[in-house]
A and B are shown apart, each in its own frame.
Chain A
């Protein structure tokens, strides 16, 4: 009985873990090209989810809702890059941390006024009926769709990076910005592309998670904290690292909320984070850079 509960907790926790991993994966993309991340990414997830919800409310099918949501995420990512990041990168300051927080603040306020402060359910054609997968443990197709969607998009992004010219250009900028620019690659464009991709990935996270959590102005505030933890614990370099850490974190916190009480749900992530900082400050899968003089 005990093991069955643990197994069940692990399965539903893992579904959330995939979402954390996906958002953290989005952080890695922009960090690779520009050493910056969007501190308002949670708001981006939320606004994309609201836009998708509005499209669904118009009566359009799921097959339209998802692409529109992804597109809006990409555009929002471009907007954030243009408005909040580019200027700070040109000045070589960390002003982007503050600027992206500010853009996020504006987004929350705008969303509250446009869509209201209430939590709203997100329609999905995927069934919420639990399926027994043996041993008394069940999983819903919605949870499965989260896992599949996340894996699919990670594979697609890898393909983009390895086998398309544009993807290789983005990779080149990540490896060495100056050398890439000398080869005629525009670093500014590569950074913009990475922000667009990161935005689309965040939007997908929003669309996948919305049927589970519902949609509201604060839907992503807890999610984003955990995505931050995952990114730091795994390190900002390794794609498979975030997946592993994300899933483990999802499982851990699902168990924590069961055994310690729902208020403690967030603690494993934060404790894990502080441990990782103390023991492996560059992340479990990250590499320390050698100081050069």
Chain B
């Protein structure tokens, strides 16, 4: 058993044992139960705030929806606990998806505003639908039976703790699967995530709905814990408290959510005692002074990040002397603590602890499996007789600028097809339209004879188009191996619930060995465990090619793969291209290095002004008068019939 599992099992066993000692203390039991309930809500909130990196101000509303759903199921329909909680989860899932569908098309502040508005709308509805919810008067209920059992306070606590443990394991499984990896990937590069056929939008909506359902479950438990509900209990303040729990505890961490729950339950109690408050303030002040002193010694200056916590905790110490009633200033104290933590420990308490543990004991690294056989990963593509890619009459415009004016292009089976042209001739637009990044104004793209749906990177990728990017779009925080695993869509077949149940390990092992095979193909076998951000530039380009190959493309589009490469790296690139040709994968290659084009390409299409001006073998193209004119311009005197663009040689 791993150390992690021992720690987790130990903690839960300890938590479960507590009622045996303090079972008679109703107040203590109440706090403990609340910790488990908040931990569930915070784990759900952390999905959006931590893993998706979006500030979500709606979790309190989902708690409210869950609380009222299960409360009404009990009072109105007479359901018992298990179905009532299930109803809460369903309501959370549905409402979460309902909000996520429009809101997740937004980013940053707009998303936060959308969730905030949803939250206010929920509170208004609960207040105003008096006939159903009893409005502001509140809803009283009696804790229902669980499978025919009447629960004691300790029994209810164990129920909550059991649910928390189950969810904990489920989330752990989910986050260590390809789902967790895609969350990481879509924060680093949403475009590349879409381009490998993993829909950013789909993942976000699913993740948000999941997080919301956890909030609703916590709400259901909350209803059975307090047995009295009021809409105003789930207002803005509650939402701020939840958000603070996640941030204080530490984002992107189950332990962080747990610690956050402990903190938000205990802090108000701790702060109501003056000596405890003064001790916390003094310790915080000293700690931030020490941290600031350290930075002063190391950097010779004091950045905002060092000063702000000192000022905030200093204000708390000062407040301890000046303020008569701490209770009146509770929100301000909360704000100061938060401010100090958010600035001083941006990764939260667990983020800091986790980093320290890794520094002390070193991170774990799983041993690599042997690479899979390449033929299994990247099967040879037989020629079905159909033309892999046929583009006809494709046009695209940006406002008044016509970037593509009726492009026709054909890529034959197993060929490397060069796409060249002066700057601004429409090469990049062409592949951006083919790969679905831009919608076409008119025209048709056929892949293996089937019409490609336009305007969606994800759908084009799922149809079989894989691409690289001129400006690299790697998942910088993931390792080289993980970068490729994100794109191995064909390996991952299990639905989400089964992954949460822990059945995804087999797929994971297959993915690792297949990814390693692809890394070996591009010569990066030794870099598997290195973070993409730490790879040298040339190597990053090769990693992108390997990631595109992981999609098992029917057509591979390479956008200037040699840009910025040193000449030894260019030799490596040519080697990789030869190996791709051996697998008979059709390729469109945009490239400005004419020697590479001449060496690799079977045929070349030349664009100018958004139109094809020539197609043929590299040798034919080199001597084509229109091509020469497009690149070098016309000599005065033979201007007639010249190209309209002021083309420059690349």
**A225–B120 contact, CB under 8 A?**
yes
* Residues of chain B within 8 A of A94, CB atoms compared: 53-55, 108-109
Q: Which residue of A lies closest to B123 (CB)?
A: A266
Task: For chain B, residues 93 to 150, give those with C-beta under 8 angstroms from any C-beta of chain A.
Answer: 101-103, 105-106, 108-110, 112-114, 116-118, 120-121, 124, 127-128
70-107 of chain A: CB within 8 A of chain B: 83, 86-87, 91, 93-95, 97-99, 101-103, 105-106
Residue of A nearest to B334 (CB): A105
Check: A223 CB closer than 8 A to any chain B CB.
no
User: Contact: A270 with B121, CB < 8 Å?
Assistant: yes
Does chain A have a CB within 8 A of B226? Answer: no
Judge whether A156 is part of the interface by a CB distance below 8 angstroms: no
Rounded to whole Å, the gap between the CB of B295 and the closest CB of chain A is 14
Contact (Cβ within 8 A) A266 B124:
yes
- Complex interface: chain B residues within 8 A of A83 (CB): 308
Residues of A within 8 A of B382 (CB): none
CB pair A37 B109 closer than 8 Å:
yes
Cβ of A99: which chain B residues have Cβ within 8 Å of it?
A: 339, 342-343
Q: B435-450: contact bitstring with A at CB < 8 Å (1 yes, 0 no)?
A: 0011000000000000
B116 touches A267 (CB 8 A): no
Q: How far is the CA of A112 from the CA of B325 in the complex (A)?
A: 13
Interface string of A172-206 (1 = CB under 8 A from B): 00000000000000000000000000000000000
The stretch that binds B, out of A5-13, A60-68, A161-169, A274-282, is A274-282
Bitwise interface map of A from 98 to 129 toward B, beta carbon under 8 Å scored 1, else 0: 11011101101110110000000000000000
Contact A109 B335 (CB under 8 A): yes
B113/A228 in contact, CB under 8 A? yes
For residue A293, CB closer than 8 A to chain B, the reply is yes
Asked if A134 lies at the interface with its beta carbon under 8 angstroms from chain B, I say: no
Interface size on A, residues (CB 8 A): 48
Least distance between A274 CB and chain B CB atoms (Å): 7
Given A97-B55, A105-B334, A293-B471, verify A232-B328 contact (CB < 8 Å): no
CA distance A112 to B328 in the complex (A): 8
Determine the chain A residues whose CB is within 8 A of the CB of B398 once the complex forms: 290
Indicate if the CB atoms of A281 and B124 lie closer than 8 Å: no
* A-B CB contacts (within 8 Å), total count: 127
Q: What are the interface flags for B378-411 relative to A under an 8 Å C-beta threshold, 1 for contact and 0 otherwise?
A: 0000000000000000000010000000000000
Does residue B296 face the partner (Cβ distance < 8 Å to A)? no
Tell whether, in the assembled complex, residue A106 and residue B121 are in contact, meaning their CB atoms are under 8 Å apart.
Answer: no
Q: Are B108 and A35 interface neighbours, CB within 8 A? A: yes
Tell me if B120 and A291 are in contact (CB < 8 A).
Answer: no
- On whether the beta carbons of A274 and B117 are closer than 8 Å, the reply is yes
Cα A86 to Cα B303 in complex, Å, equals: 12
Report B262 CB to chain A, min CB distance, Å.
Answer: 20
Closest to A84 in B: B339
Q: Which residue of A lies closest to B122 (CB)?
A: A270
Q: Would you call A48 an interface residue if the criterion is a C-beta within 8 Å of the partner chain's C-beta atoms?
A: no
- Contacting pair A108 B331 (CB below 8 A): yes
Q: Give bound CA distance, A93 to B346, whole Å.
A: 11
Q: Are B114 and A277 in contact (CB under 8 A)?
A: yes
| CB-based contact B471/A97 at 8 Å | no
Choose among A109, A231, A267 the residue that contacts B113 (Cβ–Cβ < 8 A).
Answer: A231
Which partner residue on chain B sits nearest A94 by CB separation?
Answer: B108
Contact indicator B335/A273 (Cβ below 8 Å): no
Proximity bits, B185-208, A CB within 8 Å = 1, else 0: 000000100000000000000000
Interface set of B (CB-CB < 8 Å, partner A): 53-55, 101-103, 105-106, 108-110, 112-114, 116-118, 120-121, 124, 127-128, 191, 236, 240, 243, 247, 304-305, 308, 328-332, 334-336, 338-339, 342-343, 346, 398, 432, 437-438, 469-471, 473
Known A-B contacts: A105-B335, A113-B332, A281-B105. Give 11 more (CB < 8 A): A31-B109, A83-B308, A94-B53, A98-B342, A99-B343, A101-B240, A106-B331, A228-B117, A266-B124, A273-B113, A277-B105
